[in-house]
Structure 1
Amino acid sequence: MHAVATGDAPKSGLVAVKVQYPGALPIMMSDLKNIRAAAFYLSKTEIKFDLVSAVDELNKQIRFEFDFTREARVMDTISEHLRPQSNHLQIPRSVGGLVTKRALVMNFIEGVPLLEARDRVSKMSPRARDAAKRLILSRVSEAYGRMIFGEGLFQADGHPGNILIGRGGRVGLLDYGQSKQLPDEKRRAFAELVLALNRGRAGEISAALGDLGVVTERNDPEIRTEMAYGMFDTRGKVRLAVRAWIFVLDGDCGMDHVPMSLARLDALEGLIIRDLFPFVHLHPENREGRLVLRSSFQGLR
């Protein structure tokens, strides 16, 4: 990304330009071919669940990253969806007439990467540091909650490098090459699972997992409940993902994800949802996310 001055740009006069390296797609496809071979071997010898289907879906999904016209459409759509929150959430918009399949021009988002923000936060007083961490977590959670449960279209590559922190804790989300559109039935199933996890009822949790597409060899509600908490809950039995985000701001550890322990989850939605779940609503301090979930879920009824 490079900021450049241009006469055909947003009011600030600054844009960001994203350019695709020549030959990048064939190299990526070759890498995925090797990964698939490794996944096939591991599935047969070491790890007793279906890795190959996930790699096949990743193979299909990753091609979208090399179509910048699609990325621009997704980015502009999400920017419009989150416009009511633009005072604390920043989403780039493409510059008309300056988008091709291998070049994307968009307005420049001010801010520092999350890891740099961590270093600045570490120099604050304990009280201010805690408030800053909670503010950032709340706003990132709100963004993903509104994307996933509100419209079902979301940025699916939420690592620290794609998150900028601006003045006053304003959060900017970058890079929409990896994105996903969840149909209503998937959003409903995910919402049902979230609410079931919150209630802690094994039968409801097991049924919600099934609606989401999780298939296990043993249909034992207690086992499936443990699996669900391990995959998706960030409050109770498995706190790894939220801790990882807080520790990123503290400088104690790097980014991590909830471990995957599923037998099979339909398509890439499951992988994306699992990795983004820490941002949504289950953290006990994240009231905004819970409200987003409940209002969106009611809208699906």
Structure 2
Amino acid sequence: MMTDIRNLQAFALCIQKTDIKFDLFSVTKEMEKQIGYEFDFLREVNAMERIRRFLYENNKKTPVLVPRVLQGLATRQVHFVVILHIACTGNEEWLLRQRDDGSQLLLNATFTYLNRRVLVMDYIDGVPILTLGDEMAKRGINPGGKMATSAKQNILKSLTLAYGQMILKTGFFHADPHPGNILICKGSEVALLDYGQVKDLPDQLRLGFADLVLAMADSNPVKATESYRELGIDTVSNCKNEQQEMLRLAQTMFDTKLPPGVVMLQPFSEDASIKKIGVQSFPEELFSVLRTVHLLRGLSVGLGINYSCAEQWRPIAEEALYNAGRLKGANRTKVSNPGRFFRRY
């Protein structure tokens, strides 16, 4: 795997000098770091518990479900999820669990283990988000109807709220929201799985990104340009309307909203912002934020809903800046109906 990363880094150094004027090498360096964490399961346990506690304590109802870890059954080497009544291979164990209400639940779990190097988590009953359409069809729900649209909007709202809070309030967030890590549960509840890749943003980048969120939500080219500088994103321009193009680049990189009728952005197209403004230096620490936004955009396209995460995150960004003393209370914007930002493709 690390050989593949090295090859990717060599390719990045080549292509960023020719076809894409973007600091791809820094991105691959962050990928190298994150992949190394994938096999540290004690780190994953701590990350999962930290995020679970934050989301559950800061909301009347958590926007996403996070599996609960059975403490004591984890090491850095082996990781298994115990699934109720579903057998894998190996030796049978009976595990006694305590629920929140005090009642006991026996999990009949069969799993392979090595010297009890195991991570055990709650079983969450849900369907993968990629099979959501099939599940709706099974239940006689029209995937294009009002009920399905409402469910899809709720799913995106939940994910967007969870990520807005994680990234902007604490800077510590789940950094791998690809479809395989998302389950849809009863009542359109969303479960977020696999905490092998998490990111802890320094406060300087967290608050700098909050400034950028406001700039994108306000479509303010001056603030977007200033935010890029604050974040340490070094750019070079070969266009006349640099600030307006900088805003467009920021929205392309860090917002989920797409132009009307567009379902995929092409970095190689002649009118792409990256062709007009090159990114000479990109902070490695920001890659996980960039990747998260693009994965959320992909999910929104798959669900057929075009929306702006920047507009959804505006109140959270304002709160973060206000708490840090960087925004006066009079300048905060009250969003009474954030759902209005959702639009169908």
Q: Please indicate, yes or no, whether the TM-score normalized by the shorter chain is above 0.5.
A: yes
User: Within 5 A, what are the aligned runs for 1:174-253?
Assistant: 174-218=193-237, 220-235=242-257, 237=259
- Whole-angstrom CA distance in 1 between matches of 2:234 and 2:36: 27
RMSD between superposed Cα atoms in Å: 2.8
| Count of matched residue pairs | 257
Where 1:216 maps in the other structure, the secondary structure is strand
Q: Could you tell me which amino acid in structure 2 is paired with residue 90 of structure 1?
A: L
User: Letter of the aligned partner of 1:100 in structure 2?
Assistant: T
TM-score, with length taken from structure 2: 0.67
Q: 1:36 to 1:88 in 2, by over 3 A?
A: closer
SS for the counterpart of 2:234 is coil
Q: Deviations over 1:216-273 (max 9, x none)?
A: 1239323322211221233364886xx68xxxxxxxxxxxxxx994614543333221
- The structure in which a higher percent of residues are helix is 1
Q: Hey, what does 2:8 align to over in structure 1?
A: 35
Which protein is bigger by CA-based radius of gyration?
A: 2
Sort the Cα spacing of 1:298 and 1:118 in 2 relative to 1 into closer, same or farther, 3 A: farther
Q: Contact (CA 8 Å) 2:236, 2:280: kept in 1 or not?
A: no
Structure 1 Cα separation of the partners of residues 39 and 217 of structure 2: 38
Instruction: Give TM-score scaled by structure 1 length.
Output: 0.76
Q: Which residue identity lines up with residue 49 of structure 2 in the other structure?
A: D
Within the candidate set 72, 77, 80, 1:97 is matched to: 72
Q: For residue 285 of structure 1, report the CA deviation from its aligned partner.
A: 9.3
Deviations 1:88-129 (A, max 9, x none): 521123221111112222222221111122322455241101
User: For the structure 1 residues 260 and 284, does the alpha-carbon distance in structure 2 shift closer, same or farther, using more than 3 Å as the test?
Assistant: closer
1:23-172 correspondence runs (5 A): 28-84=1-57, 85=59, 86=61, 88-103=63-78, 104-121=119-136, 123-125=140-142, 126-172=145-191
Could you tell me how far apart the structure 2 residues matched to 1:290 and 1:239 are?
A: 25
SS of the residue corresponding to residue 72 of structure 2 reads strand
Q: Deviations over 1:112-156 (max 9, x none)?
A: 111122322455241101111111111111111111112110011
Contact 2:257 2:309 in 1 (8 A): no
What stretches of structure 1 of length at least 5 have no aligned partner? 1-27, 245-258
The answer to whether the 8 A contact 1:230-1:238 is kept is: no
Q: Is the 8 A contact 2:217 2:310 kept in 1?
A: no
Output the amino acid matched with 1:108. Y
Deviating more after overlay: 80-89 vs 153-162? 80-89
CA contact (8 A) 1:57 1:267 kept: no
